[in-house]
Structure 1
Amino acid sequence: MIIGTAGHIDHGKTALVRALTGVNTDRLKEEKARGISIDLGFAYQPTPDGDVLGFVDVPGHERFVRTMLAGAAGIDYVLLVVAADDGVMPQTREHLAILELLGVTRGVVALTKADLAAPRQRETVTAEVRAALVGGALATADIVPVSTVTGEGIAALGDRLAREAAAFTARDTAGRFRLAIDRSFTLRGAGTVVTGTVLSGSVTVGDHLIVSPSGLPVRVRSIHAQNRPAERGRAGERCALNLAGERVTREAFARGDVVLDPLLHAPAARIDATLAVLASEPRPIGQWSPVRLHTAAVEVGARVVLLGDGAILPGEEAFVQLVLERPVAAAVGDRYVLRDTSARRTIGGGRLVDLRAPARRRRTPQRFAQLAAQATGAPDAALAALLAVAPRVVELDGFGRDRALSDAQLEAALARPGIIRIATGGVRFALAGADWEALTSGLRGTLAAFHRDNPDLPGIGLERLRLQSEPRLPAPAFAAVLRGLARTGDVALDGAWVRLAGHEVHLTPADEAVWREIRPRLGGTARFRPPRVRDIAGLIGASEAEVRRLLKRVGRMGEADEVAHDHFFLRATVAELIDILGRLAAAAGRSGFTAAQFRDQVDSGRKVAIQILEFFDRHGVTLRRGDLRHIDVHRLDLFRPAGETEAPAIAGGEASPVGRPDFKSGRGRAPVSGGFDSHSPPPALSDRAR
């Protein structure tokens, strides 16, 4: 059990800890010279049952409340210190408010300097304390008179803390490991050591971890847990980790950094949260209010974005968005505290709800429904609530990561009946069973209606179909669903098109006869420079209009592509050109390839080679930078024959801040397949991003 002190300056917190443990937590030269605590102090006391009590002694001066907050994060039990000769003071009340915001509900009040107060004074101060505690979690806490001079009450207080520790239920260690760093130093012969409270999970010697938000990889050489050598450190314990690795020095770590499981490294800079404003706050919280945010051991500047219609009044609670000056490592459900920018008063606090908050459309009814679902307590309840609101699909790896859930905990959350899982490219999604039924039956209905209205078309474009489906899945998940339905024979995938398995498009007998004459002229050795519509019409003795009509219809069937005006290539030839582009790009590497290099590969003349490249440019298969071109590998499936289409998985998806698309260059974007004429440009970005 971790016990944290709280209370006004010079009320005897450090002296009380020394009397209980024999350790002077004032370790700095300045602290000893001035007789006040400036930084966090730590002490440990063995209990009769073999356990160890950890004490975090915090400064009481108003200038060091930020330090107090770093120490208060992660404590289980508070030792509130009030001097009998002084009574309740400003920092007593502020520390109490902070403890309420951090969710500390267990503790005891030590009425220190009892030897300096007459019985009547003790009674008066006791009444003051009791009045200050009214309405809070410590309202029924015992008040114990103690004196570090005479020894009054010290032994009894120590026994009480030992009993509290014996009855304390240790924190669950099933989650992934997180330790909030509050101190780093170097030990001769050992190297760099960081200390902090383990927020979740456990760590063992030899584990490979990440320091977030910096991303520095480290290895655990040794562990001290509760001031004892150990092979394992667990949630709720104060641990010292001896770390090794490249660039590992004392200066590489800052208070507020978090040592964590590598799978949790995803710093957040825009977070939706609940905010309860203290009733003592003199003014409402307005839009874009500047604040200092404290969570775990970190302090960072932030702005408050109101999600409601008006300012948040003192004593009220609402959802807000916190826009941070820099990314921090955090988890959903973490408690936080807001203070004003001058560090003179505490404003309020609450819980972090969504680490991947959107910058746009953050005040819609749909978004508020998502926040209410995210704020639901246990992971299984939160997952069920999210699956019940739009978009009714959850990216599971992001869900588990942002809550620091282990694989076992995530599986437990998925154990509720009726949850369907979709896996694609290492990314997993979930949706409710009823939505799965609605999605699959809706797909069949949409395709049937499309075939009824467009009997001469081979199918509907994949992206167009996704945008018409409910629930609307992310593109990788939707592609995975379609591949699954294709395996069961419900639908057929034909390049960029999706159709019902039984749907077939046939030319009329007359058109079929003409196509049998045209097709050989588009293939063979001349396939990279086929004749144009006018030339074909002359060769077969038909009108240009009739040939153009037929070729456009064949193009809609997916057998040919109009690369330039009136210049059609067989789909198999276009797929062959795709392979040539791939080989050129692989050989050129990052430098890119030229139009001349492509022309030499296809032996079609410069004019036709440029038309082919411009066709691929329009569809995003090639990206032109000056005289060079590069390949977008995520677009290569647009013109592949049936059966070869495989939608690439984009790591992280919408919930992940790591590996998101670069919206300027288009890198990392999921593929967008067909549903448009092959000669027209691909769908607008606004359509693809929906």
Structure 2
Amino acid sequence: MIVGTAGHIDHGKTALVRALTGVDTDRLKEEKARGITIDLGFAYLPGEAGEVTGFVDVPGHERFVHTMLAGAGGIDFALLVVAADDGVMPQTREHLAILDLLGIRRGIVALSKADLADRDRRAAVSVELRALLRGTGLADAPIVPVSVRSGEGIEALRQALAEAEAATPPPGESGAFRLSVDRSFTLAGAGTVVTGTVLSGAVAVGDNVVVSPGGLTARVRSIHAQNRPATRGVAGQRCALNLVGDGISREAVGRGDTVLDPALHAPTDRIDAVFRVLASEARPLSNAFPAHLHHGSAEVGVRVMPLAGPLELGAEGLVQLALDHPIAAAAGDRFILRDVSAQRTVGGGRFLDLRPPARRRRAPERLAQLEALQQPTPADAFARLLEVAPFQVELNNFARDHALRADEARRMAAAAGAVLIGADTPVALSLAHWEGFRSSLLGEIARFHEENPDLQGIGRERLRLLVQPRLPAPAFRAALDGLARDGAVVPEGAFLRLPTHEVRLDPADEALFSRIVPLLGGEARFRPPRVRDIANEFGVAETEVRRVLKACARLGRVDQVAHDHFFLRATTAEMVEIARDVARHAEDGIFTAASFRDRMDNGRKVAIQILDFFDRLGVTLRRGDLRRINPHRADLFGTPGEGEAPQPGQPASAPAGGEPSSTPPSRSTP
């Protein structure tokens, strides 16, 4: 259990921690000279059963509330200290408000300096405290009179803390690892050491981590958990991590950083949140309100934009936060806002979405998503999101932003009965919306066939934009692959058709095409005769030959590479494989038209026509006179080589290109 002190300056927080633990948390020379706490202090109290209670001692001076906030973010239990002679003071109220905004629901009020107050004074202060605590998370906290001079109440307080420690659930390892850094220093013989509270997950010696938001990578050389050497640190513990890595130093890593699992490194400078304005504010919270945001140990300037008009005093509502620079955070994290002069706490709340839209942030669809994200657990939020537009959740992104491990996210999706589409970047749909998607897709294809009976099928991208719910292109391709394996649809290059749909030639056209096929195949397949040459060969009108070949192109038998140049489909697939092989042997996968022409041995003009055809279909990506294979369209005429990696410069999750500008190919293997 981590205990955080709170209370007004000179009310005896540090002296009380020293009486409980024997540790003086004022370690700075200036702190000892002035007799006040300036920075965070730490102490530990071993228990009889081997457990260790950690203490975070915070400053009480109003000038150091920002430091208090850096230590309050990771505590489990509050020790609110109020001097019996002074009673409730300004920082008593502000610290209590902060604890309430941070969601602290467990704590004890220590009525310090009890030796300076008689029975009546103690009773009066206790009544004042009960009134102050009413309506907060600490409303039922016990009030324990203590005196570090006489020893009164110290043992009772220690026992109460031991009982709270025993009632604290054992440290868990759920979630991905995050540690909020509140201190960084150099240790002789070890190097850089950072300390902080583990917010989620677990870390072990030898693990690779990232210091976010800066992005420095490091390895954990050793760990101290709850002030003891350990091989692992888990959520709820205070840990010291000895980090090693390029660029890792005391100056490079410090308060405000978060050490985390590399999968979580995705800093953000725009966040949607639910926020409560303190009733003590002078006026409602208006648009673009400037403030200081405190999250964990980080502090950053922010502008607050209420999403439903000004927020009234004491009210709670949705806001968008525009930060001056990125921070590392997770959905569900608590935060505090203070005014720009650092004189008062404005309010606090909870992060909902780390990647909100900057535009249409008040649209009804968006507000419905934020309502879903307000659910108490990630699993509840996930289930609700599946039921509001756009009726889908990108599982990896949801897991990252909620600090979940990949296996936890998969189990969460399974528990919600979600259908996952795609392997690497799965998109989740509810079973009902998956069935709706499937029905919509098959219905749109059937409607296209009815309106265009002589066309082989509908373009994939055109279909994606028609089907509801609309999926991202990678997920749509994965869904089509599954439906094709099930036999529900037949993919033909960039087009799709139903298994029952087939366009046929009439007998006369079929007979003419059977005469043309030998001329397009064989050794001359890479330089087939043009339409006029075929027409002259058979004594048939050129328009008739062109009409039949265009009809066969719609059937996927041939491809119209140029106006008068048709190639058999098998030849097109062979030429794609040749282009792929040329690219494989070229530096960085980038090749010239000349290198392709040399392999084809069919002349520069025809080779250029073929490459232009590939460009239009997105099989190749052209820049100037250079080309490379588009790995997401390379299977358009057949299955690419097993295990082939994306080409340099092409992200693995990039969507496929748009619709081709010429007659599409057909019957590619999904």
Give TM-score, length-normalised by structure 2. Answer: 0.91
Aligned residues: 663
- One-letter identity of the residue aligned with 1:46: P
- How far is the alpha carbon of 1:173 from its aligned partner? 2.7
Query: Kindly tell me: are residues 594 and 29 of structure 1, through their superposed partners in 2, closer, same or farther at Cα, counting changes over 3 Å?
Result: same
**In the alignment, what sits opposite 1:678?**
662
Counterparts of 1:118-267 in structure 2, within 5 Å, are: 118-267=118-267
| Whole-Å separation in 2 of the counterparts to 1:552 and 1:29 | 88
Query: Kindly tell me: are residues 338 and 647 of structure 1, through their superposed partners in 2, closer, same or farther at Cα, counting changes over 3 Å?
Result: farther
Larger CA deviation: 331-340 vs 440-449 = 440-449
- How far is the alpha carbon of 1:360 from its aligned partner? 3.5
1:19 alignment partner, SS class: helix
| Whole-Å separation in 1 of the counterparts to 2:598 and 2:152 | 96
2:415 alignment partner, SS class: coil
Counterparts of 1:128-527 in structure 2, within 5 Å, are: 128-308=128-308, 310-407=309-406, 409-416=408-415, 418-424=417-423, 426-527=424-525
Q: Deviations over 1:51-105 (max 9, x none)?
A: 2211100111222222111100111111112223333222222211111111001
Q: Kindly report the root-mean-square deviation, in angstroms, between the aligned alpha carbons of the 2 structures.
A: 2.9
| Whole-Å separation in 2 of the counterparts to 1:140 and 1:649 | 61
| Whole-Å separation in 2 of the counterparts to 1:344 and 1:543 | 90
- One-letter identity of the residue aligned with 2:64: F
- One-letter identity of the residue aligned with 1:497: F
1:126 alignment partner, SS class: helix
The answer (yes or no) to whether the contact 2:549–2:566 under 8 Å persists in 1 is yes
Query: Kindly tell me: are residues 339 and 235 of structure 1, through their superposed partners in 2, closer, same or farther at Cα, counting changes over 3 Å?
Result: same
- How far is the alpha carbon of 1:469 from its aligned partner? 2.1
Larger CA deviation: 260-269 vs 7-16 = 260-269
- One-letter identity of the residue aligned with 1:395: E
The answer (yes or no) to whether the contact 2:221–2:241 under 8 Å persists in 1 is yes
- How far is the alpha carbon of 1:543 from its aligned partner? 3.3
Query: Kindly tell me: are residues 290 and 529 of structure 1, through their superposed partners in 2, closer, same or farther at Cα, counting changes over 3 Å?
Result: farther
The answer (yes or no) to whether the contact 2:589–2:629 under 8 Å persists in 1 is no
**In the alignment, what sits opposite 1:554?**
552
Query: Kindly tell me: are residues 416 and 633 of structure 1, through their superposed partners in 2, closer, same or farther at Cα, counting changes over 3 Å?
Result: closer
The answer (yes or no) to whether the contact 1:6–1:78 under 8 Å persists in 2 is yes
- How far is the alpha carbon of 1:36 from its aligned partner? 1.7
2:27 alignment partner, SS class: coil
Query: Kindly tell me: are residues 411 and 622 of structure 1, through their superposed partners in 2, closer, same or farther at Cα, counting changes over 3 Å?
Result: closer
| Whole-Å separation in 2 of the counterparts to 1:572 and 1:239 | 64
**In the alignment, what sits opposite 2:572?**
574
| Whole-Å separation in 2 of the counterparts to 1:345 and 1:618 | 62
1:192 alignment partner, SS class: strand
**In the alignment, what sits opposite 1:100?**
100
The answer (yes or no) to whether the contact 2:10–2:60 under 8 Å persists in 1 is yes
Aligned counterpart for 1:541 among listed residues 539, 542, 558: 539
The answer (yes or no) to whether the contact 1:374–1:386 under 8 Å persists in 2 is yes
The answer (yes or no) to whether the contact 2:80–2:109 under 8 Å persists in 1 is yes
Q: Deviations over 1:642-680 (max 9, x none)?
A: x66999999xxxxxxxx9xx9xx9995211464x55269
**In the alignment, what sits opposite 2:561?**
563
- One-letter identity of the residue aligned with 1:245: G
- One-letter identity of the residue aligned with 2:38: I
- How far is the alpha carbon of 1:411 from its aligned partner? 4.5
Query: Kindly tell me: are residues 363 and 533 of structure 1, through their superposed partners in 2, closer, same or farther at Cα, counting changes over 3 Å?
Result: farther
- How far is the alpha carbon of 1:146 from its aligned partner? 2.4
Q: Deviations over 1:20-63 (max 9, x none)?
A: 21111111122222222111100111233432211100111222
- One-letter identity of the residue aligned with 1:364: A
Q: Deviations over 1:105-160 (max 9, x none)?
A: 11122222333345554444333333322221122322233222333322322222
The answer (yes or no) to whether the contact 1:461–1:673 under 8 Å persists in 2 is no
**In the alignment, what sits opposite 1:90?**
90
Query: Kindly tell me: are residues 247 and 195 of structure 1, through their superposed partners in 2, closer, same or farther at Cα, counting changes over 3 Å?
Result: same
2:585 alignment partner, SS class: helix
1:286 alignment partner, SS class: coil
- Do structure 1's residue 9 and structure 2's residue 9 form an aligned pair? yes
**In the alignment, what sits opposite 1:656?**
none
- How far is the alpha carbon of 1:591 from its aligned partner? 8.1
| Whole-Å separation in 2 of the counterparts to 1:34 and 1:58 | 15
| Whole-Å separation in 2 of the counterparts to 1:273 and 1:571 | 55
The answer (yes or no) to whether the contact 1:380–1:412 under 8 Å persists in 2 is no
| Whole-Å separation in 2 of the counterparts to 1:576 and 1:293 | 60
- One-letter identity of the residue aligned with 1:71: G
Aligned counterpart for 1:588 among listed residues 586, 589, 610: 586
Q: Deviations over 1:163-220 (max 9, x none)?
A: 2222223454322222111112222233322111111122333333333233333333
**In the alignment, what sits opposite 2:668?**
none
- One-letter identity of the residue aligned with 1:398: N
Query: Kindly tell me: are residues 292 and 649 of structure 1, through their superposed partners in 2, closer, same or farther at Cα, counting changes over 3 Å?
Result: farther
Larger CA deviation: 133-142 vs 583-592 = 583-592
Query: Kindly tell me: are residues 429 and 623 of structure 1, through their superposed partners in 2, closer, same or farther at Cα, counting changes over 3 Å?
Result: closer
| Whole-Å separation in 2 of the counterparts to 1:232 and 1:546 | 78
| Whole-Å separation in 1 of the counterparts to 2:289 and 2:570 | 60
> Which residues of structure 1 form unaligned runs of 5+?
651-658, 681-690
Q: Deviations over 1:565-612 (max 9, x none)?
A: 344333333333333332333333348333333333333433443333
| Whole-Å separation in 2 of the counterparts to 1:431 and 1:648 | 29
Give TM-score, length-normalised by structure 1. Answer: 0.88
- One-letter identity of the residue aligned with 1:546: E
The answer (yes or no) to whether the contact 2:213–2:265 under 8 Å persists in 1 is yes
The answer (yes or no) to whether the contact 2:179–2:200 under 8 Å persists in 1 is yes
Query: Kindly tell me: are residues 566 and 319 of structure 1, through their superposed partners in 2, closer, same or farther at Cα, counting changes over 3 Å?
Result: farther
| Whole-Å separation in 2 of the counterparts to 1:550 and 1:214 | 63
- How far is the alpha carbon of 1:499 from its aligned partner? 1.7
| Whole-Å separation in 2 of the counterparts to 1:15 and 1:420 | 57
- One-letter identity of the residue aligned with 1:332: A
| Whole-Å separation in 1 of the counterparts to 2:415 and 2:652 | 37
Query: Kindly tell me: are residues 281 and 546 of structure 1, through their superposed partners in 2, closer, same or farther at Cα, counting changes over 3 Å?
Result: farther
The answer (yes or no) to whether the contact 2:554–2:663 under 8 Å persists in 1 is no
The answer (yes or no) to whether the contact 1:537–1:544 under 8 Å persists in 2 is yes
Query: Kindly tell me: are residues 125 and 144 of structure 1, through their superposed partners in 2, closer, same or farther at Cα, counting changes over 3 Å?
Result: same
Query: Kindly tell me: are residues 589 and 184 of structure 1, through their superposed partners in 2, closer, same or farther at Cα, counting changes over 3 Å?
Result: same
| Whole-Å separation in 2 of the counterparts to 1:31 and 1:466 | 65
| Whole-Å separation in 1 of the counterparts to 2:509 and 2:585 | 43
| Whole-Å separation in 2 of the counterparts to 1:320 and 1:572 | 58
Query: Kindly tell me: are residues 428 and 624 of structure 1, through their superposed partners in 2, closer, same or farther at Cα, counting changes over 3 Å?
Result: closer
The answer (yes or no) to whether the contact 1:294–1:338 under 8 Å persists in 2 is yes
The answer (yes or no) to whether the contact 1:211–1:258 under 8 Å persists in 2 is yes
- One-letter identity of the residue aligned with 2:48: P
| Whole-Å separation in 2 of the counterparts to 1:390 and 1:649 | 34
